[in-house]
């Protein structure tokens, strides 16, 4: 968590005597997790959380909230401890199926101010900035062989300013719980400039193989009564050059205020279908489209002096706090997006017993009747083989972890659980510094900013024709064309392989300066000679990185701020490996525009010798610990966002194909992105690249 001034967007509770400065406020803050899909009758799911601290999957805190009813202007009081989970039915995002509109279609999506958004029947309606009047926006479905032209039309008037307050809190006292755990603005400083923010928007199709002029460049915003015109997909391309079937999402990407605009409600889901996915459905490997759910999730933006990120206590799923989903006792496909500003989800499914007073008791699922869960896809589409995430999980078993902007394609087999009450909950990693007993799945962990574990309840009904999922068969292949990227032949661990052709290696270091700013440092080789390194003036700070063979290379920084000159020039059609070294204490989800990459490996490092700022003595090398580990089995597919863990080098590989132009990569913790943790890169025509000066790209071959 970063120590610089942050801005929180959310509805806030007001204590008695606190002036209400905004006529449409709740006393809540939260995070969001989105689940997209539908079952018969069709139901699409999106998970979001609201709280007084930030966006993401949130749970409510037990404190008093005074709410303003926007539509009537009357005030009502509610104790968030009395908010009962699982009282709402999981809603379905409005569907726009464009597949029936031909190879080339034109759509208009209006960006609107809405005043009738209701995140819970237990709370009054509130305002939001939206796509087409809903949070989340419409679920847009396209075919891989379509050209889709979209006009994103901004109709939010200047008087319809940011629909929540932005509040900054001091650090909590020693031993006190974080302010983010509870709703309300009392005790915080309201940012008046944010209260007058008008909606200037630019939409990015996250994960899309998109031309640069349609990618949603962060500075190309459209103010009121203006439009952004984009084109997605290209009809009549060869099959192997189309984007694979997957679930993407679209969201606002405006420079400096992405965290606020997205938190205000500007996000939605985009699904691509193709023949490979259709074959898996026809062959009975995947549930059909009527047994598919889409989950996504979004509200007072609230931070603390030493916590830049927004972690809200309430979880929204498809725009509802802690909803219930009625599912039949058969395999159901779930498409899940972590749409939170900052929160990482570690999701589990448990038995959930609900008492008459609304309290919930969570217990592990009986091992004698396990719940089969299979991950069949990642950000960029289907895996080659399903990966089991069955509950109850073994103590060291694989479970689902999603950092902000990551997606998962799941099949949950309810066929043996007719009549069961189950729930998806959020969990935390045990705190190694705590003397408390380690929390169990389903426990609230307020000290670690998880005051409520609730996410989504499943009420399993009967199904007279239930059949178990065939995904338990170890020989199942979902995508016969899938290839696992490897450096060396024979290291694909049972996958069909693609050995990386000639490629460029780049090094990027994630660092934090003394003021708390988080930066991407793009590195180039300075020297491998320790004497040259020692003689280098302190005005050129170096980062020494040791290889596994002990050889130390000293790197210097050539760019670190968003508006520093472009250093990554990449020939179109070329391959690259990026080595991302995290020298901070927190994980960061790194999103690369344009491409779908694969994670090659994670290498732990001893970073104790790294100094920020550089000290008087030369820094000690950053050295590898043990051998690099491959990504988890459910991370070995195509990705556009990768969790870069602390004290680790995460290596990714991608082919930069399709389009030329200026793109970017950035941290997808939105508070970090808005504070300059992003950098541009340019994809250029290969023949033009051959004529460019050799030092423009800052690369090593």
Question: In angstroms, rounded to a whole number, what is the distance separating the alpha carbons of residues 283 and 521?
Answer: 48
Sequence-distant contacts of 211-214: CB under 8 A, at least 24 apart: 211/659, 211/661, 212/659, 212/660, 212/661, 212/662, 212/663, 212/683, 213/661
Helix, strand, coil share of the chain (percent; to 5): 10, 40, 50
Could you tell me the two tokens for 447? 């000290």
Question: In angstroms, rounded to a whole number, what is the distance separating the alpha carbons of residues 684 and 254?
Answer: 25
Band of residue 13 on the pLDDT scale cut at 50, 70, 90: very low
Other Cβ atoms less than 10 A from the Cβ of 466: the count is: 16
pLDDT at 513: 75
pLDDT at 308: 78
Looking up tokens 């909803």, which residue turns up? Answer: 323
Question: In angstroms, rounded to a whole number, what is the distance separating the alpha carbons of residues 271 and 9?
Answer: 28
The HSE-up count of residue 101 (CA atoms within 13 Å, CB side) is 16
Rounded average pLDDT over 115-137: 93
Could you tell me the two tokens for 279? 């074959």
pLDDT tens digit sequence for 323-353: 999 999 999 999 999 999 999 999 999 999 9
454 strand-pairing partners: 425
Got the DSSP string for 494-556?
Answer: TS-EEE--SEEEEEEEEEE-TTS-EEEEEEEEEES-HHHHHHS-TTS-EEEEE-TTS-EEEEE
> Which of 443, 446, 343 lies closest to 401 in space, CA to CA?
343
Identify the three-state secondary structure at position 2.
Answer: coil
pLDDT at 37: 46
Q: Which of 40-54, 464-478, 501-515 has the lowest mean pLDDT?
A: 40-54
pLDDT at 517: 76
34 strand-pairing partners: 296, 337
Could you tell me the two tokens for 482? 């899938």
Report yes or no: 363 and 433 within 8 Å, Cβ to Cβ: no
Q: What is the 3-state secondary structure (H, E, C) of 50-116?
A: EEEEEEECECCCCCCEEEECCCCCCEEEECHHHCCCCCCECCCCCEEEHHHHCCEEEEEEEEEEEEE
Band of residue 530 on the pLDDT scale cut at 50, 70, 90: very high
- How far CA 627 is from CA of 68, 412, 603, in Å, comes to 56, 34, 7
pLDDT at 263 over 60: yes
Identify the three-state secondary structure at position 260.
Answer: helix
List helix spans (H) across 380-497: none
Report yes or no: 305 and 5 within 8 Å, Cβ to Cβ: yes
Rounded average pLDDT over 183-206: 92
Q: Which residues lie below 8 Å from residue 100, measured CB to CB, with a gap of 6+? A: none
Handedness of CA 30, 34, 35, 41 (dihedral sign): positive
Band of residue 240 on the pLDDT scale cut at 50, 70, 90: confident
Report yes or no: 369 and 422 within 8 Å, Cβ to Cβ: no
Q: Which of 62-76, 161-175, 350-364 has the lowest mean pLDDT?
A: 62-76
pLDDT tens digit sequence for 607-660: 998 876 655 566 789 999 999 999 999 999 999 999 999 999 999 999 999 999
Could you tell me the two tokens for 686? 């290969």
Rounded average pLDDT over 392-405: 93
Rounded average pLDDT over 275-287: 97
Q: Residue 400's Cα: distance from chain center in Å?
A: 13
Could you tell me the two tokens for 640? 């556009």
Rounded average pLDDT over 30-40: 60
pLDDT at 21: 28
pLDDT at 359: 93
Band of residue 701 on the pLDDT scale cut at 50, 70, 90: very low
Identify the three-state secondary structure at position 10.
Answer: strand
Q: Residue 586's Cα: distance from chain center in Å?
A: 15
Rounded average pLDDT over 488-514: 93
Strand segments (E) across 274-330: 292-296, 300-304, 314-317, 320-321, 324-327
Other Cβ atoms less than 10 A from the Cβ of 443: the count is: 14
Select the highest-mean-pLDDT range: 11-20, 171-180, 450-459, 604-613. 450-459
Question: In angstroms, rounded to a whole number, what is the distance separating the alpha carbons of residues 582 and 545?
Answer: 12
The HSE-up count of residue 403 (CA atoms within 13 Å, CB side) is 18
Looking up tokens 């050995």, which residue turns up? Answer: 499
Question: In angstroms, rounded to a whole number, what is the distance separating the alpha carbons of residues 565 and 268?
Answer: 33
Band of residue 366 on the pLDDT scale cut at 50, 70, 90: very high
> Which of 221, 215, 269 lies closest to 247 in space, CA to CA?
269
Question: In angstroms, rounded to a whole number, what is the distance separating the alpha carbons of residues 489 and 492?
Answer: 7
Is residue 69 exposed (0-12), middle (13-18) or buried (19+ Cβ within 10 Å)? middle
Strand 95-97's sheet: what is its strand order?
95-97, 139-143, 267-273, 246-252, 203-206
Band of residue 466 on the pLDDT scale cut at 50, 70, 90: confident
Band of residue 436 on the pLDDT scale cut at 50, 70, 90: confident
């Amino acid at each position: 968590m970063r120590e610089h001034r942050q801005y929180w967007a959310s509805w806030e509770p007001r204590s008695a005597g606190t002036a209400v400065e905004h006529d449409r406020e709740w006393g809540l803050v939260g995070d969001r997790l989105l689940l997209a899909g539908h079952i018969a009758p069709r139901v699409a799911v999106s998970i979001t959380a609201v709280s007084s601290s930030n966006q993401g999957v949130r749970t409510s805190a037990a404190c008093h909230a005074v709410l303003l009813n926007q539509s009537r202007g009357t005030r009502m009081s509610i104790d968030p401890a009395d908010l009962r989970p699982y009282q709402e039915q999981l809603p379905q995002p409005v569907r726009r199926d464009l597949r029936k509109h031909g190879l080339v279609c034109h759509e208009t999506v209006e960006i609107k101010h809405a005043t009738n958004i209701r995140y819970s029947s237990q709370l009054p309606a509130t305002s939001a900035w939206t796509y087409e009047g809903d949070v989340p926006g419409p679920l847009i479905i396209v075919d891989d062989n379509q050209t889709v032209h979209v006009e994103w039309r901004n109709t939010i008037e200047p008087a319809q300013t940011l629909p929540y307050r932005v509040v900054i809190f001091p650090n909590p006292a020693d031993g006190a719980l974080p302010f983010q755990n509870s709703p309300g603005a009392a005790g915080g400083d309201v940012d008046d400039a944010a209260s007058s923010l008008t909606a200037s928007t630019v939409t990015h199709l996250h994960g899309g193989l998109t031309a640069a002029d349609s990618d949603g460049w962060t500075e190309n915003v459209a103010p009121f009564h203006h439009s952004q015109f984009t084109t997605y997909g290209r009809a009549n391309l060869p099959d192997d050059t189309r984007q694979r079937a997957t679930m993407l999402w679209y969201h606002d990407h405006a420079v400096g205020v992405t965290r606020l605009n997205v938190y205000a409600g500007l996000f939605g889901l985009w699904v691509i279908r193709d023949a490979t996915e259709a074959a898996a459905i026809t062959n009975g490997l995947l549930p059909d489209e009527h047994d598919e759910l889409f989950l996504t999730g979004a509200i007072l933006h609230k931070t603390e002096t030493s916590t830049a990120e927004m972690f809200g206590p309430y979880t929204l799923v498809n725009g509802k706090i802690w909803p219930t989903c009625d599912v039949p006792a058969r395999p159901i496909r779930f498409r899940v997006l972590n749409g939170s500003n900052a929160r990482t989800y570690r999701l589990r499914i448990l038995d959930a017993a609900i008492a008459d007073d609304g309290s919930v008791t969570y217990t592990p699922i009986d091992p004698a009747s396990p719940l089969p869960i299979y991950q069949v896809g990642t950000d960029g589409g289907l895996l080659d083989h399903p990966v089991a995430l069955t509950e109850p999980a073994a103590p060291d078993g694989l479970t689902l972890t999603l950092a902000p902007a990551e997606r998962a394609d799941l099949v949950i087999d309810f066929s043996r659980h007719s009549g069961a009450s189950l729930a998806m909950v959020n969990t935390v990693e045990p705190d190694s510094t705590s003397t408390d007993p380690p929390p169990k799945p389903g426990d609230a962990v307020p000290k670690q900013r998880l005051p409520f574990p609730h996410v989504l309840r499943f009420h399993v009904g009967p199904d007279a024709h239930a059949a178990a999922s065939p995904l338990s068969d170890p020989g199942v292949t979902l995508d016969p064309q899938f290839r696992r990227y490897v450096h060396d032949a024979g290291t694909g661990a049972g996958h069909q392989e693609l050995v990386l052709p000639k490629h460029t290696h780049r090094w990027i270091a994630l660092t934090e300066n003394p003021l708390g700013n988080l930066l991407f440092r793009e590195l180039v080789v300075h020297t491998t000679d320790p004497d040259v390194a020692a003689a280098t003036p302190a005005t050129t700070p170096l980062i020494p990185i040791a290889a596994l063979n002990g050889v130390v290379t000293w790197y210097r920084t050539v760019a670190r701020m968003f508006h520093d000159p472009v250093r990554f020039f990449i020939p179109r059609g070329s391959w690259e490996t990026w080595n991302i070294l995290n020298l901070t204490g927190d994980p960061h989800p790194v999103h690369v525009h344009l491409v779908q990459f694969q994670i090659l490996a994670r290498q732990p490092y001893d970073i104790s010798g790294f100094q920020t700022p550089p000290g008087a003595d030369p820094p000690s090398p950053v050295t590898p610990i043990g051998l690099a580990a491959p990504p988890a089995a459910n991370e070995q597919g195509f990705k556009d966002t990768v969790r870069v863990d602390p004290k680790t080098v995460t290596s990714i590989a991608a082919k930069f194909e399709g389009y030329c132009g200026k793109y970017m990569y950035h941290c997808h913790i939105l508070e970090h992105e808005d504070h300059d943790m992003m950098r541009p890169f340019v994809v250029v025509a290969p023949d033009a690249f051959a004529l460019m000066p050799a030092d423009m790209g800052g690369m090593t071959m």
